[in-house]
Structure 1
Amino acid sequence: MGSQRKPLLLVRELHTDFIHDVNLALSAHNCLGLHGESGSGKTLLLRAIADLDVNEGDVRLDDRPRELFTGPQWRRQVGLLPAESQWWSDSVGDHASHWPAELLSALGFPEDVLSWQTGRLSSGEKQRLSLVRMLANQPRVLLLDEPTANLDAGNTDIVEQIINDYLRQHQAAAIWVSHDPAQLTRIADSCAVMDQGRFLPEEN
């Protein structure tokens, strides 16, 4: 996982009531593919790194300890894209102050998408719009919980390309949860499996 480069994200002895002492290091433009059975702890690991659930351990961004960030600051820099996105207002545009037009266009949305009603969005539309909402913050690390699970093959290809381009252009890193072995082969530089709360790196 880019061992010759300085880690962008460093996680040491991270644990929760379910997650057991996770150690990992991600360098810029590095994507870690994460898989495992349902309930194995994949989502819980992402939430612990994002500091959304109670956890202990040493987590650093560019060698800066997580404790030096406020919660909102950390989650802007270490962005979590959950499998089920949250929509708390009637209009799409209400959910962020900035929506990059080029990303909306690349994902197939018309110019008036910000006026759309959230209650009428499909699951795939919600997933793609949530990606735009997260990338608008220009995070250094992307925590992606099955970001293409509700998408057809065409939109899956587009999302994979957008994320790969983002990692390269912004010197960012990602942890990408997927149940699709073919997708992990396409997008991941290295892989690990979660097994009953244990993080197990796999040989390349």
Structure 2
Amino acid sequence: MSESAEVVPIRPSIRLDTDALTLTDIRLSHEGRNLLDGVIAEISSNGITTLIGPNGAGKSLLLRVIMDLVKPTSGVVEFGDGFEHPALVFQRPILLRRSVRANLNHALKLAKVPKADRSGRLAELLVAADLTRLAENPARALSGGEQQRLSIVRALASNPSLLLLDEPTASLDPSATKAIEDLIRNTSAAGVKIILVTHNRAQAKRLADDVLFLHQGKIAEHTLAEKFFQAPQSDAAKGYLAGDLLL
């Protein structure tokens, strides 16, 4: 067991563009406990950023702060020009009691996609999620992986430039996980910025361009993925990658 000392954030060692998403001294307290404790980060507007760390580090909470679903006690979230219409997909899919097609049509209407364009866009989303053959099936009757793929492409209906994913493959089998990872890669390749929360270190290694390591409510390290997994700089990250229990 590793007992961690106070976290000292390591500043980003990657070159960031001027359109970065900037988190400045984000703090969130509840009942005397600091859930987020001075989060400082700049996140590039391209590629896949994975947000990893031990349970209770504040990863999912930080996504909700970025989306303005939770108000921080103090601090500022600033979106650069490279970020528009952010979208969040939760760990557990929340789907309408309608068909797969109807779920996507509803999302396209909410996104104010012109009616003449909806059919073509809907077909693209079905193909992206590999759900064309299941388009008329009840969304809630899909498997867990299929539901999550539907949730992701439904979020893409609004053409976001930033997609936040909170543990999208939790509890899924390897086949379902691979399908979602392929969808994530394809979405990133299409120009959508991805911020992915995951507990799966192997998944982070497969997908990440850069890594934000969160511990004790702080960003302990932010660097390129290859550097993070080969030579982490913070004691907390070293312990985490070694499988130690971080307190």
Normalising by structure 2, report the TM-score: 0.67
Report what 1:140 is aligned to. Answer: 161
Q: For residues 102-141 of structure 1, what are the structure 2 equivalents within 5 Å?
A: 102-113=124-135, 115-141=136-162
Report what 1:14 is aligned to. Answer: 26
Q: Using the alignment, how far apart are the partners of 2:127 and 2:81 within structure 1?
A: 35
Q: State yes or no: 1:83 paired with 2:101.
A: no
Q: What whole-Å deviation, never above 9, does each CA across 1:55-106 have from its counterpart, x for those lacking one?
A: 2322122259xxxxxxxxx9x7111111012224344414423563233224
Q: What whole-Å deviation, never above 9, does each CA across 1:156-196 have from its counterpart, x for those lacking one?
A: 333323322322322x3222111111111111122122223
Q: For residues 1-204 of structure 1, what are the structure 2 equivalents within 5 Å?
A: 2-17=14-29, 18-55=35-72, 56-62=74-80, 77-92=85-100, 93-94=102-103, 95-97=106-108, 100-113=122-135, 115-170=136-191, 172-203=192-223, 204=227
Structure 2: 5+ residue runs without aligned partners? 1-11, 30-34, 109-117, 228-247
CA positional deviation for 1:13 = 1.4
Q: What whole-Å deviation, never above 9, does each CA across 1:99-153 have from its counterpart, x for those lacking one?
A: 632332243313452x322342332222111001111212111211112224433
Structure 1: 5+ residue runs without aligned partners? 65-73
Going from structure 1 to structure 2, the CA distance change for 1:112 and 1:188 (only over 3 Å counts) comes to closer
Task: Give the length in aligned residue pairs.
Answer: 192
RMSD: 2.6
AA partner of residue 76 (structure 2): D
Going from structure 1 to structure 2, the CA distance change for 1:198 and 1:4 (only over 3 Å counts) comes to closer
CA contact (8 A) 1:79 1:143 kept: yes
CA contact (8 A) 2:89 2:165 kept: yes
Percent pairwise identity: 33
Q: Using the alignment, how far apart are the partners of 1:131 and 1:160 within structure 2?
A: 11
Q: Using the alignment, how far apart are the partners of 2:173 and 2:157 within structure 1?
A: 23
Going from structure 1 to structure 2, the CA distance change for 1:62 and 1:191 (only over 3 Å counts) comes to same
CA contact (8 A) 2:26 2:75 kept: yes
AA partner of residue 10 (structure 1): T
CA contact (8 A) 1:11 1:57 kept: yes
CA contact (8 A) 1:33 1:176 kept: yes
Going from structure 1 to structure 2, the CA distance change for 1:173 and 1:112 (only over 3 Å counts) comes to closer
Going from structure 1 to structure 2, the CA distance change for 1:9 and 1:168 (only over 3 Å counts) comes to farther
